[in-house]
Structure 1
């Protein structure tokens, strides 16, 4: 039977899971069922027509929601952004009304006595969506017709960039979040901050000028345009044609991280890459170091397997050639020829003796037959018969025949010796050619002649083109006796 939970246990589990998954969220909707009890807390329902969410706004959060003055500037206490006026758009408990369109920031929790999840608001902002929304849609339509949003004109973000220009407010939370994430990802990068106003009437001109300056300096590999969250009015600088034009004419890839997940600006549409938040922008630029380490491990394993396969193939080819050389060895060939010679001699000797004994036996039988046939009366004729047989035997198996066979065997021996020497010399020449070919395949062979292997530090790729590096890049140089680390001071291609 599966584990049976009590209502309290299940509610606590749901509470822990929900609060861990949504520690802080922004929610937009319309206020309804507003209630203000004597405690000073505010309770209402946030709805978008299709769903409803219960919201509680405690009195302590209402007091801390108003902008505070720091160094002569009014700073939003939640986002850290400088506000142009002390009023801002943040509401108080008495300023919220039924039917009002608001943006709430806070955390989700579960009210255990009723088993109901709710939003505990930290900040409530009024949403002025009338004229600004119309202006937003009009500019969006105009720029889309001009091709500002076309995907085919957008540039690819560099992977793990080493030089990044960041355009943002120098005192906002956005830059702190961006730098915090950047410090934990990638393989290290140089970041230059171009401080600008990110809201107010002067913000669009400063943002556009900063984009043009980064483009003119040609130092960075990519540009990050970031800002923390806020209302539509707060983010309006990123919905201006002036900023859109600057992003469109930028020659470097631009990534935007403006506001929070629901916020989408004109700058996001024009940019080469849109990130949901400043932190997400840093995540888009630099991969996780664990991912890079796993990639290095995977490449190392792949390289090891490839090398093992290559080495096994060479070993197989070498073994095949070794067996071929053994088979073609002059010693083995001489041994085979000697074995064949011995077999032929044995056959020859066996055939000769059998023939000799056969002839002798026939001669004896013939002599006995003549004796019986002719008796003592014909000794002279019998002698002549025996003499003829002896002469034939001597011609077939006598010393002259043996001498002829010796001369023939001597000639065969000389031919065998010459063939062995020729085969040995040919095999030695082929072996030398194979040894030369194998030495030519040695990847570290050129190092013996004074050459060096140059890799780009960090990526490990071989450097074949000086245009692949710039001044200040680190190099890893391998020579015959070891390795040398170097820094690029100048890189110029060959001039024809």
Structure 2
């Protein structure tokens, strides 16, 4: 009867046998999945395309294990052996990179908590670039020249898609992580899984066929290509030309979420959107429901504000139209005319009152001026002045009359003295020559035969001049 071991007992037995059988080994392979934690230790995988070996290179070993030159030969300080056959160059931890072909020296060890064996490296030498890295770079260059990586050919992802096609292994952890995240995000969507191998020789053809099937169904808004983490060999299916061709000819946008953050594949370069992990793919496709809810609240508040503003603007427009119609109505026009008439009446009444007030003030001013001119005091003064003037006029008239009488008497006396008939009263006469009509003053003024008209006090006497005598009487 065979013995029954506990897990720890069996693991410890394997550890003891393995470490005893392989106390120190040299292993050649390509570096993949290189990790650099803060501790300074390095963790990576050595692979040759058919198998993988986990390697840990502690920080202390990185500092102490440096080969030295002796007579042109490289001597390993751990073993003392000449390393001419390796043709390698010792590396530092900082120089180690994914894809490098290296030769590692160290001891095998079993990590009991995981039951996993690993190589504890003491020395790492560069052996050049690995075959997989060479193939990766060659295909990358070829596809870049064909325009597979051009940004202008890539399709934008739909926001919150309702129909999503997922190409992956239906039993892998990647689809579980994707669906778990999808349940908590977006507004609800339908997800179809297109099963495919994601590792191995048959994986590239199945992945390409699944992508072509998504196009043929013409159902999905977006296709998602996901796979969990692994070594470069595990992820190699996504570094093949058939997969790149299928992504390139896809009519729907393709999202690639292959491996972990450091893992970069050819599929990532060709895809319309590359994300770090399968979980991140779900996060990229669907927004958080809290964000959607908050956005919905923002939209709701914006719509409410817009509706309120719209109501206010329409209310203001309606009020403006109502006032316009009211202003144009006959009733309103009559009211305006009545108001205008009332205003004019008030203005007329005010103008009349102002006019009468002005005239009253003018009359008062005139009365005051008349009172100053014709008032009792002024009248008394005027009466006294009139009496004085009357007295002066009376005296002047008396003097004037007396003067006029005197002048009249003088004129009368003068006139009487000048009256040609006045001498007739005293017995004189006036002789007029009829021929000339002039009074006779000199006998020489007449000739014999001239008729004379002699006027005396009580009548006229006619006479004729005789030549022998100057005195003629009839």
TM-score by length of 2: 0.51
Q: CA shift at 1:312, angstroms?
A: 3.2
Structure-2 separation of matches of 1:353 and 1:157: 91
Offset, 1:302: 1.8
In 1, Cα distance between equivalents of 2:189 and 2:209: 24
8 Å Cα contact 1:226/1:278 also seen in 2: yes
5 Å matches for 1:232-251? Answer: 232-251=232-251
Cα distance between partner residues in 2 of 1:190 and 1:224: 13
- Corresponding residue number in structure 2 for 1:472: none
Shift of 1:183: 0.4
Q: Describe how 1:396-475 pairs up with structure 2 within 5 A.
A: none
Per-residue CA distance 1:314-365 (angstroms, 9 max, x = gap): 4444555566667773324412312313432564698699999x9xx99xx9
Between stretches 339-348 and 242-251, larger displacement belongs to 339-348
5+ residue gaps, structure 2: 1-32, 44-54, 63-91, 97-108, 371-474
Structure 2 counterpart of 1:28: 35
How far has the Cα of 1:303 moved from its partner?
1.9
Return the alpha-carbon distance in structure 2 between the equivalents of residues 32 and 192 of structure 1: 40
Shift of 1:184: 0.5
Hey, what does 2:158 align to over in structure 1?
Answer: 158
Unaligned runs of 5+ in 1: 1-25, 34-41, 66-91, 102-127, 366-496
- Residues of 2 paired with 1:231 and 1:267: CA distance? 16
In structure 2, distance between residues paired with 1:214 and 1:228? 21
CA change 1:354–1:223 in 2 (3 A) is closer
Structure 2 SS opposite 1:165: strand
What is the CA-CA distance between 1:129 and the residue it aligns to?
6.9
CA distance in 2, matches of 1:353, 1:137: 113
Which secondary structure does the structure 2 equivalent of 1:98 belong to?
strand
Aligned to 2:274: 274
Q: Which residue of 2 aligns with 1:227?
A: 227
CA drift at 1:132: 0.4
Quick check: 1:334 aligned with 2:338? yes
* 8 Å Cα contact 1:160/1:286 also seen in 2: yes
2:113 to 26, 36, 61: 61
1:212 CA drift (Å): 0.4
Pick the structure with greater CA Rg. Answer: 2
How far residue 306 of structure 1 moved from its aligned partner, in angstroms, is 2.4
1:284-295 matches, cutoff 5 A: 284-295=284-295
Alignment of 1:46-85 (within 5 A): 49-50=93-94, 59-63=111-115, 65=116
Asked if the contact 1:31/1:99 (under 8 Å) is kept, the reply is no
- Provide closer, same or farther for how the CA distance between residues 336 and 254 of structure 1 changes in structure 2, counting only shifts above 3 A: same
Number of residue pairs matched by the alignment: 273
Q: What is the distance in 2 between the residues matched to 1:312 and 1:245?
A: 59
Q: Write the deviation string for residues 204-233 of structure 1: whole angstroms up to 9, x where unpaired.
A: 000000000101110000000000000000
**SS of alignment partner, residue 132 of structure 1:** helix
Say whether 1:259 aligns with 2:259.
Answer: yes
Q: Would the alpha carbon gap of residues 28 and 341 (structure 1) be closer, same or farther in structure 2, given more than 3 Å must change?
A: same
SS of alignment partner, residue 225 of structure 1: strand
Mapped pair 1:212 → 2:264: no
TM-fit CA distance, 1:157:
0.6
Cα shift at 1:299: 1.3
Does 2:184 correspond to 1:184? yes
Once the 2 structures are TM-superposed, how far is the Cα of residue 265 of structure 1 from its aligned partner? 0.3
Q: TM-score, with normalisation over the residues of structure 1?
A: 0.49
In structure 2, the CA distance between the partners of 1:243 and 1:129, relative to structure 1 (3 Å rule), is: farther
